[in-house]
Amino acid sequence: MNKTTKFADLILPLPLAQLFTYSIPEELKADVAIGKRVVVPFGRTKFYTGIVKNIHNNPPEDYATKEIISCLDESPLITSLQLCFWDWISQYYQCTLGDVFKAALPSGLKLESQSKISANENFQTKISLTKTEEQILNVLQHSKDVNISTLNQATGLKNTLPQVKSLLEKGAISIQEQIVSSYKEKTKEWVRLSSDFSESEMSLFINQLKRAKKQQEMLLSYLNLSKHYFEENANKVSVDELLQSVGSAKGILKSLAEKNILEIYSEKIDRIDLSQTETSGLKELNKYQQEAISEIKTSFEEKNCVLLHGVTSSGKTEIYIHLIHEQLQEGKQVLYLLPEIALTTQIINRLKSVFGNKVGIYHSKFNDAERVEIYNNIHQNNSKNAYQIILGVRSSVFLPFNNLGLIIVDEEHENTYKQFDPAPRYHARDASLYLANLHGAKTLLGTATPAIETYYNAKSGKYGLVELFHRHQDIEMPEIIIADVKEARRKKRMKSIFSPELIQMIEICLENKEQIILFQNRRGYSPYLECKSCGWVPHCPNCSVSLTYHRYNNQLVCHYCAHSIHPPTVCEQCGSTEIEDRGFGTEKIEEELMSFFPDAKIGRMDLDTTRKKMAYEKLIYKFENRELDILVGTQMVSKGLDFDNVSLVGVLNADSMLNYPDYRAYERSFQMMAQVSGRAGRNKKRGKVLIQTYTPDHPIIKNVIENDYYSMYSEQLAERKEYIYPPYFRLINICLKHKNQTVVNQAASVLAKSLRKVFGIRIFGPQSPVISRIQNFHIVNILLKIEKKSSPSKAKWILNQHANHLKSMDQFKSILINFDVDPM
């Protein structure tokens, strides 16, 4: 860098719009460069890691600059492509570069005064440390809850950050975030012989077990499965496998263990990290898939983005795998995006079995150290162990790719691709298109149920469109049967929450040893309690929602702020003691199933049962392994799972989705029902789907029955046009929050009035959202709808001006205002 350059503009992890100019001291002039991290003081006591955005010679006019303390990187950590990407995110989604910085880097790479640090217990002291590093490590080993500020005090050093960084790299310490275990820990129980018995000893055992036929049978089966006396290397036999082979209970195995013949041991299995490098090769594509892939390639010659609209189980994933393979051969990187809940071990294993260690996973359940590792791995792309494929969630768009060839956005219609809170409120699918353009790469969007906007873009020629209407092996789409709940109630034929049709179909499936998935878009036991005599419903004191009843811990819980109380026994309004639960969630379905089908093995998959480490993986594994007959769940069960023995899917209450007050409710209901139906009959036999509803003639239900995406799309599109919504108009939501309801209402009406002077009838509101108070903040929204062809950047600039003006008024300075561009 130029020796005369004196100043650097930095991005700091703060929600402030501007860049911050610092001066570069003489001794750092050779080091500081664009994209590197530097440490700077901020205010009196704080300091931050900042990213160098520009370097120049112009002193700021209105403040005296402070000096950069140190430079953390030898080469830029943030590439110039990434900085362009950050700029785009911040401009398009109307947030600060600081917000983007915070979202883009794992904590371990953005140390700040408040980052919590701790010593690693199993650090190898063989690695050499400097004196100061040792001093710091010593402090950390003897105290808890240390952050960099307290560390500075404890060591008497002015700034320990460079040492902290170096200790991090040496693996001596870590930065804490919520440490959620990664996939790695999974144990499995195995069986082996208690010692190395000779063949004659073994025959003796077998003989002795003459009277314990079941034990004898099990032992023989073990010998058979393990091939112990037949082959050099005996096969490993799992407990499950052995029990299944003879159809007996674990008690029998325990008896054999007590006799010291067999032994049960457990071993960690690493289902994700298949350390073997041998890979299973590509599957040959069927003729429809071959056609689709060649259409995709032709389409890519003209278009940067192609939508692959393929029915569930048509083998979209196989097509992706072939495309990835081609990219790798050209030495390109691939980003494969999945929504959070669809990133399961199933898909990970499928990719790993083809691409082995070239696949890196980026998941929000990974702890920070792992995320830093992946970040660094991609950053040092030239090394031999570099990942070439990243399978990841939303935030993986921020990884430092340098050579992307293809981005795949699977289940592109999923709304979890959009970050809701905090800023940047970006949509990973839409951001992917920009990211791909920066790299000269292509984007493939895939789904069975495209978002209306996406399909519109494909139909209007902005994207390519490739459609795949055949399931692999031409398995028929499931048969969809409707149960009219209203009619059944009238005739008093409902069995609790189940229609007679559903009960009967479950019975048949259980008899045939086929599996069942039941879907209800609500967790908990019942959505609310209600006083039978006056209709009083217990509400959350902090939010404007009713409390959901959870039976397992007998609590009423707020799903927005987690506030929880014991259910009241007396009505607060009229004193009646008759308080009943209303509606039903997954927990109640599970309980009711147990009473109707006491012999069935039932599992439940929702937010409440999957909080613990590995719980989600365990449930999937058990279901795959047929240790469960019925899986009850929320939308978690609808995403991308591939079970081959599911012949029935039940949707317990279609109406709750259809009646949701949102312009996307019909689109979402269709997507949800079509996706969950897609879990049925994925192998050989045609599956069945039963939908319970009060409105069997609803047009969306009809579309689902006929598997008619196109009609749903056309009808929705007409409505969108009539009511001025996307894809015809662009929406920007302006959200105002304050603890005082009067203040927020006043502020919103002042702002709406001033915006109306500019935008006229394009301004809607102010209006309260369905849930108008969360954690004691009152919320009011103003919605701007602008024509697709008008300049969004100009509109955004005007919005900012008006919001800043509002906040400059004394009575409104504590109002929180945020923008949500393309809200979901």
Can you give the binding site for ligand ADP, defined by CB under 6 A? 283-286, 289, 310, 312-318, 472, 642, 682
CA–CA dist 498, 811 (Å, integer) = 55
Kindly tell me which of 227 and 283 has the beta carbon lying closer to ligand ADP. Answer: 283
Q: Which of 8, 774 has the CB closer to Zn ion?
A: 774
The DSSP annotation for 124-164 comes to -TTS---HHHHHHHHHHHH-SSEEHHHHHHHHT-S--HHHH
Least Å distance, CB 164 to Zn ion, is 38
How many helices and strands, by DSSP H and E, does the chain display? 25, 34
C-beta closer to ligand ADP: residue 315 or 766: 315
**What does 576 bind: Zn ion, ligand ADP, none (CB cut-off 5 to 8 Å by kind)?**
Zn ion
CB of 316 to ligand ADP, least distance (A): 4
Helix, strand or coil for residue 661? coil
135-144 contacts, C-beta under 8 A, 24 or more apart = 136/160, 136/163, 136/164, 136/167, 137/167, 137/172, 137/173, 140/173, 144/118
**Which residue type sits at 800?**
N
Tokens of 466: 């490739």
The token pair that represents 765 in the structure block: 């509101």
**Among Zn ion, ligand ADP, none, what does residue 286 contact (CB within 5–8 Å per kind)?**
ligand ADP
Q: Is 545 helix (H, G, I), strand (E, B) or coil?
A: coil
Binding test (CB under 5 A) with Zn ion, winner from 42, 123, 536, 597: 536
Q: Which position among 518, 531, 589, 691 is part of the footprint of Zn ion (CB under 5 A)?
A: 531
Q: Is 380 an interacting residue with respect to Zn ion (CB under 5 A)?
A: no
**Which of residues 115 and 647 has its CB atom nearest to ligand ADP in the complex?**
647
Mind giving me the DSSP string for 398-418? GS--SSEEEEEEETTT-GGGB
Is residue 604 within 8 A of residue 587, CB to CB? The reply is: yes
For residue 312, the minimal CB distance to ligand ADP (Å) is: 5
Q: How far is the CB of 43 from ligand ADP (least distance, A)?
A: 52
**Which partner in Zn ion, ligand ADP, none is near 561 (CB below 5 to 8 A by kind)?**
Zn ion
Options 250, 551, 563, 698; binder of Zn ion; rule CB under 5 A? 563
Q: Shortest gap between Cβ of 623 and ligand ADP (angstroms)?
A: 15
Q: Quote the DSSP letter at residue 107.
A: G
C-beta of 285 vs 782, nearer to ligand ADP: 285
Rounded to a whole number of angstroms, the minimum distance from the CB of residue 576 to Zn ion is: 5
Q: What span, in angstroms and rounded, lies between the C-alpha atoms of 557 and 258?
A: 47
Regarding 579 and contact with Zn ion (CB under 5 A), the answer is: no
HEC profile for 673-741?
A: HHHHHCCCCCCCCCCEEEEEECCCCCHHHHHHHCCCHHHHHHHHHHHHHHCCCCCCEEEEEEEEEECCH
Quote the least distance from Cβ 123 to ligand ADP, whole Å.
43
199-207, 267-275, 525-533, 707-715 -> range binding Zn ion (CB under 5 A): 525-533
Question: Closest separation between CB of residue 287 and Zn ion, Å?
Answer: 54
C-beta closer to Zn ion: residue 5 or 772? 772
Q: Which residue's CB atom is positioned nearest to ligand ADP?
A: 315
Q: Which of 156, 155, 71, 168 is nearest to 129 (CA)?
A: 168
Residue among 785, 662, 716 nearest 452 (CA): 716
Q: How far is the CB of 566 from Zn ion (least distance, A)?
A: 16
Alpha-carbon torsion (407, 411, 412, 415), positive or negative: negative
Task: Output the CA–CA distances (angstroms, integers) from residue 70 to 31, 73, 608, in the order listed.
Answer: 9, 9, 46
Q: Is 652 in the site for Zn ion (CB under 5 A)?
A: no
321, amino acid identity: I
Per DSSP, the residues of 23-49 read: EPPGGGTTT--TT-EEEEEETTTEEEE
Does the protein bind Zn ion through residue 779 (CB under 5 A)?
no
CA pair distance 818, 469, nearest whole angstrom: 42
* Partner touching 196 among ligand ADP, Zn ion, none, CB below 5 to 8 Å by kind: none
Q: Which does 534 bind (CB under 5 to 8 A by kind): Zn ion, ligand ADP, none?
A: Zn ion
- Contact segment (CB under 5 A) with Zn ion among 38-46, 277-285, 453-461, 572-580 equals 572-580
Residue from 576, 625, 767, 804 binding Zn ion (CB under 5 A): 576
DSSP state, residue 546:
B
Select from Zn ion, ligand ADP, none the partner in contact with residue 531, using the beta carbon and a kind-dependent cut-off of 5 to 8 Å: Zn ion
The yes or no reply on residue 749 touching Zn ion (CB under 5 A) is no
Which residue lies nearer to ligand ADP by CB, 11 or 641?
641
- The residue among 434 and 560 lying less far from Zn ion, judged by its C-beta, is 560
d(Cα 573, Cα 304) in Å, to the nearest integer?
A: 61
Question: Quick check: helix, strand or coil at residue 392?
Answer: strand
Question: Taking a C-beta distance cutoff of 8 angstroms, is the pair 15, 55 a contact?
Answer: no
Tell the smallest beta-carbon distance from residue 274 to ligand ADP (Å).
17
Contacts of 545 (CB under 8 A, 6+ apart): 539, 558, 559, 560, 771
The residue (of 338 and 752) whose beta carbon lies closer to ligand ADP is 338
CB of 802 to ligand ADP, least distance (A): 46
Q: Could you tell me the strand order of the sheet in which 37-42 lies? A: 20-23, 7-11, 46-56, 37-42, 70-71
Which partner from the list Zn ion, ligand ADP, none does 573 bind, CB cut-off 5 to 8 Å by kind?
Zn ion
Residue with smaller CB distance to Zn ion, 434 or 777 = 777
Rounded least distance, CB 183 to ligand ADP, Å: 20
Among 88, 123, 197, 560, binds Zn ion (CB under 5 A): 560
Stretch that binds Zn ion, among 89-97, 502-510, 565-573, 646-654 (CB under 5 A): 565-573
Binding residue for Zn ion, selected from 77, 103, 571, 637, defined by CB under 5 A:
571
User: Nearer to Zn ion by C-beta: 38 or 540?
Assistant: 540
Min dist. Cβ of residue 384 to ligand ADP (A): 30
Cis peptide before 424 (omega within 30 of 0): yes
Tell me which DSSP letter residue 516 carries: E
Nearer to ligand ADP, 401 or 623 (CB): 623
Asked if residue 534 binds Zn ion (CB under 5 A), the reply is yes
Give the shortest CB-308-to-ligand ADP separation in angstroms: 9
Residues that bind Zn ion (CB under 5 A): 531, 534, 536, 540, 542-543, 558, 560-561, 563, 571, 573-574, 576
